[in-house]
Amino acid sequence: MYLWPPVLLTIILTIVLFFSSGCTQQPRGNNIGPPPMRGQALQKQVINKQLESLREKNFSVLRTEMVIKGMSMDNPMLLRAFKSEMILELWVKSTYSNQYDLFKTYNVCSKSGVLGPKLKEGDKQTPEGFYNVTKDRLNPNSQYFLSFNIGFPNAYDKSLGRTGSLLMIHGNCVSLGCLAMTDKSIGEIYLIVEQNFKYGHKSIPVHIYPFRMTQKNMMARNKSRWYPFWENLKEGYDHFEKYRTPAHATAKNGRYVFN
C-alpha cells in the first residue's frame, strides 16, 4: 500500500482547511456561552450591528457636510454613474435653488463587462440607462455588506426583451455586473439614501452612462454598434448638464423619452 509522505499530507490538509473556511464559515470561539447562531441569522445580526455603528459614527458628519454645502438629507437626490471613468456621483438638490449640486464623487472599485447595455441574464454587463432606487430595494443584510437594487430591467429594457435581476450598487468590491464600491463608500451612500427615504421620498433616480457623454467622447466612439443608443442616453445627460435637474425618462417605441 502506498503511503503518502508526511510533508505532502501536511500540504494537502492545509489546502483543504483553507478552502473550507470561506466567508460563510463562522468564527470559532471558546465554546463558552450559548451555541453560536448560524447562516443568515448570524449574518443579519452582524451586519445590523455594523450598520448601527455606521449610523453612530458617520450620520452627523455627513449631515453637517451637506449643510455646509447648502444641502439637506431631506432634499431630492440623484445618483449618476460613469462606467468608463469608474465613478459614482451623488447629487443633492440645493436648499436655496431648484438646481442639484454635487455632494461627493465615489470611486467604483470593481466592474465587469464592457461598454454597452446589459442584454440578458448572466452576461455580466453593468446596465446603462435610467433607473430608480426605492425603499423596498434597500438591503441592509447583503452578502456584499450593504446594497440596493437599481431596478433593472426597467420599462425600456423590458420593451426590448432584455433580462436580468438583482443588479445592485453594493460593497465588498466584487462585481458580476453590479457597481461595486468599497465598504466605506457604500456605507456613506447607503446611510444617505436610507435617510432620504425616511423623510418620505419615494425614489431616487440612478443614471448610468457608459462614459461622460461629451461631444469629444461621443465622436471617439461613433463607430460602435451602440452609438445610436448612446445618442439617446445623451439626451438625458445633456438635460442634466444644462439645467442641473434630472430629466424624467419614460420608454416609447424602443427609445427613452424625456420630459
Choose the catalytic residue: 109, 170, 201, 207: 170
**Residue 35 is assigned to a structural domain of this protein:** no
- Among 106, 180, 196, smallest CA distance to 146 is for 180
Into how many domains does the chain fold? 1
Among 23, 109, 173, 178, the active-site one is: 178
| Domain presence at residue 113 | yes
Q: Does residue 31 form part of some domain?
A: no
Residue 30 within any structural domain of the chain = no
Is residue 41 very low, low, confident or very high in pLDDT (cuts 50, 70, 90)? Answer: low
CATH number of the CATH domain containing 44: 2.40.440.10
Indicate whether 100 belongs to any domain: yes
The strand pair at 203-209 and 77-82 is best described as parallel
Say if 32 falls within a structural domain: no
Helix H or strand E segment including 138: strand 138-139
Q: Does any domain span residue 249? A: yes
Model confidence at 177, pLDDT cuts 50, 70, 90, reads confident
Whether 149 is covered by a domain: the verdict is yes
Q: What distance in Å separates the CA atoms of residue 104 and residue 73, rounded to the nearest whole number?
A: 13
Q: Give me the phi and psi of 47, to 5 degrees please.
A: -70, -40
Q: What is the pLDDT of residue 27?
A: 30
Domain span holding position 189: 40-258
Predicted local confidence at residue 257, as pLDDT: 98
Residue 93, helix vs strand vs coil: strand
- Residue 125's pLDDT is 96
Catalytic residue check, 178: yes
